[in-house]
Amino acid sequence: MSIQLTRVEEFALITIDRPQALNALSFALIADLGAAIDEVAGTDARALLITGSGPKAFCAGADIKELTGRSMQAQHDGAVFGQTTFARLDRLPMPSIAVINGFAFGGGLELAMACTFRLATANAKMGLPEVRLGLIPGYGGTQRLSRLIGESRAMEMILTARTLTANDALQVGLVNRLIGADPLAEGIAFAREFSGFSLPVLALARSAISRGMDMPLQDGLRLEADLSTLAFQTEDAAEGMDAFSAKRKPAFKDR
């Protein structure tokens, strides 16, 4: 299999293991990726990290050989397949982190953008170069990029097929942090900044932010009120407030 699912302490790790093709996304690989994400959803992992095998690439994009000579219906079905697979990351009970260790182009960047967070090594390069092939992004790139860096920057990046360095990506907000020589260790350290909190509460916060992006402000505020009310009903909220009053560390139980 080209997707490896392992456990690193309290975290799940998905590795795209196709280094001979710069971890390019074949349709079979996307199917295996979806199965791995579903498997993670049923575990007690505190976060999911996704990375690529080898030092050169996180994921260089779609396998172009598979895209040629296909019918219009097959092309549409393929785009929906990629979109729905990546969207499973939104529904995970735990946050996800893309550890971008090299090239992240096309579908590879679209996968990274579907994660909750993105960390990038200094040698990382990323972009959506589909227009060079007479195509446009089809796995969510036109939608997620604009939400992450704004419409104007996304328009420029996609229409010019511009490649960003890791530092460029940090400056525009496409990645959260730059990481060094041990990407996995630094990814785990980043995950530990939130993994001790209540997973249901983290999920409510993620939902409020992501769903609110598609709403007018007043609708988003109503959504926040509803979800914050749900957070107050959790056992973890009672534990957190009690621990604060008692000046002790809370012991959250994800309930």
- Selecting among 9, 66, 110, 224, the annotated active-site residue is 110
130 is catalytic: yes
Confidence at residue 100, expressed as pLDDT on a 0 to 100 scale: 97
Confidence at residue 255, expressed as pLDDT on a 0 to 100 scale: 93
What percent of the chain shows pLDDT beyond 90? 91
DSSP labels for 92-161? -SS-EEEEE-SEEETHHHHHHHHSSEEEEETT-EEE--GGGGT----SSHHHHHHHHH-HHHHHHHHHTT
Confidence at residue 1, expressed as pLDDT on a 0 to 100 scale: 66
What mean pLDDT, rounded, does the chain reach? 95
Confidence at residue 196, expressed as pLDDT on a 0 to 100 scale: 95
pLDDT digits (tens, 9 = 90+) for 68-112: 888 899 999 999 999 999 999 999 999 999 999 999 999 999 999
110 is catalytic: yes
pTM higher than the cut 0.75: yes
- Contact assessment for residue 106 and residue 62, using Cβ atoms and an 8 Å cutoff: yes
Domains parsed from the chain with CATH numbers: 3-191 (3.90.226.10), 199-246 (1.10.12)
| Interval 2-26 mean pLDDT | 94
Confidence at residue 69, expressed as pLDDT on a 0 to 100 scale: 83
| Residue 238, pLDDT above cutoff 80 | yes
The Cβ of residue 218 has, within 10 Å, a number of other Cβ atoms equal to: 8
- Tokens 């957070």 -> residue: 231
- Selecting among 9, 39, 66, 130, the annotated active-site residue is 130
pLDDT digits (tens, 9 = 90+) for 149-197: 999 999 999 999 999 999 999 999 999 999 998 999 999 999 999 999 9
Confidence at residue 65, expressed as pLDDT on a 0 to 100 scale: 82
